[in-house]
Structure 1
Amino acid sequence: MDIEFFRNFCIAKPGVTEELPFDNETLAFKVKGKIFALTHIDNFVSVNLKCDPEEAVKLREAYNSVKAGYHMNKKHWNTITVNDDMNDKELCRWVNHSYDRVVSGLPAKLKKELQSQ
């Protein structure tokens, strides 16, 4: 997977924006203002994704490329190394999970706005 595929996959989801909220290198994907994915804009070697805490531990145990979230709440975030061994389909599934986790925590009004998009 390359940065353009990842970017297009993320921004195709309803209500998603992309921003550089921390610096000129860290690209954040947000749904209704809440981050669900982060990556380095120029050096696409890893992504940070939100995850159910129990699932996060299982993924870390099952995959060498999945670690506790770098500079993130390690209970709720994983950092996934993107390399030739990483299955694009799995990574897309994890992006979907992250997006869904964030959406599930949104207020009802924002969820309703997403449904109409």
Structure 2
Amino acid sequence: MKKTGILNQNISEVIASIGHYHKLVICDAGFPIPPHVKRIDLSLVPGLPAFMDVLRTVLIELCIEEVIIAEETEQQSPHRLEEMKSVLLGVNPSFVPHTEFKELSKSAIACIRSGEVTPYSNIILVSGVNY
């Protein structure tokens, strides 16, 4: 059994295999995950697990160099946007319309679905390198 880090086998496997510039989506319970993208569904009941808990946990292990967020987040869920920015460790997000965000998700390695029900609680993490 693993002693530290992410215990979820599917998430751990995706992070270990992700390459430079690959995309990983963390999304809310209502996000339309493209059928061909690996789906890691963590949702239990509305609100669990929380989007921010999943994001914080993934950021412990994943090196990121770019972040993409839907423009609508600022208007619909400004508090969520501020929470996301607070954990991004100096990476400034890019903003795209939600329709474009959904298109970009089609090229993701995986989508991790939280139980979050706060609108626009979605983020695309673009992997970097740690050297």
TM score, norm. by length of structure 1: 0.29
Say which structure, 1 or 2, has more relative contact order (CA 8 Å, 6+ apart): 2
- Higher normalized strand content (fraction of residues): 1
TM score, norm. by length of structure 2: 0.27
- Higher normalized helix content (fraction of residues): 1
